[in-house]
Amino acid sequence: MYDRFAEHYDLIYREIVNYEKETDDFEKLFAKFCKKKPRSILDIGCGTGSHSLLLSNRGYSVTGIDIAKRMIVLAKRKASEEESAVKFLVQDMRNIDLHRRFDCAICAFGGFGYVLTYSDLARVFGSLGKHLDPEGVFIFEFWNVGGIRPSPYQTRMKIEGKSFVLYRLSESNFDAQTNILTVDFNFIELHDGKPAETFRETHKIRCYTTPEIKKYLEDNGFELVGVFDWGTKGLIDFKLPEKETFRILAVAKRV
């Protein structure tokens, strides 16, 4: 995953994600749930590093990890261009190996959902627990089962690049037995109005309910201390999620 897609990731998600506002939201949660302002942050599933770089610019010491090698290559390139001190590493969130602890960890957008089984989820929490300070906070996004749209759900995007046009066609199908959302992406890249390349990727994302998240955290040494609606307008007045909320931002602490 995120091979050819990675090359267009920032171009696509600049239309979807407001990274500045989301970074504001992380800082609101730091202020609400951390006993003191965190200095060190672990960005899990950091992608091309947009959140990491913004947090670094705001004075935090940030390490970003992602299992997708191409995403880390691009994140390192952005860090070099910005002369940023963020460290970006290829690592699996199920087996984090950094030999240090952090004040806070984050995992945004769909990153948490790529862990598809409970056994792997337990490995994630176990690995994370070894890298968080005793009073460390874990802030992560999960996709709520109640907010899934009826299958098949199709979307189409047109993205204008500097020298090309990219079309992204997607179809999402949800399996209510496994709570796994399968998203098939088809990309068509046009140069001078003519197809230059096509490629396809399939992504599987595990979705959850809040009671599931609460139980899985408690079973693995964490306490769920807050859940909030993280809709298109961001974190507004710490609004609680409703049944149909899709993006939920959860806050957990080690116990």
- The domain spans of the chain are 4-145+208-254, 147-206
Highest CATH level, class, for 147-206? mainly beta
Average pLDDT over residues 211-231: 96
User: Maximum distance among all alpha carbons in the chain?
Assistant: 58
Q: pLDDT tens digits for 168-211?
A: 999 999 999 999 999 999 999 998 888 788 999 999 999 999 99
Encoded tokens for 171: 């179809």
Q: Report the percentage of the chain scoring pLDDT > 90.
A: 84
H or E stretch covering 234: none
Over the chain, what is the mean pLDDT?
94
The neighbour count for residue 150, using CB atoms within 10 Å, is: 8
Mapped onto helix, strand or coil, the DSSP state of residue 168 is strand
Query: 230 near 25, Cβ under 8 Å?
Result: yes
- The predicted model scores a pTM of 0.95
Q: Say how far apart CA 128 and CA 112 lie, in whole Å.
A: 12
- How is the beta sheet containing 180-191 ordered, strand by strand? 153-160, 165-175, 180-191, 194-206
Q: Domain 4-145+208-254, what architecture?
A: 3-Layer(aba) Sandwich (3.40)
pLDDT(1) > 80: no
List strand residue ranges (DSSP E) for the chain, in order: 40-44, 61-66, 87-90, 102-107, 132-143, 153-160, 165-175, 180-191, 194-206, 222-229, 247-254
Domain 4-145+208-254 identical in fold to domain 147-206: no
Would you state the structure tokens that stand for residue 157, as one six-digit string? 């995007």
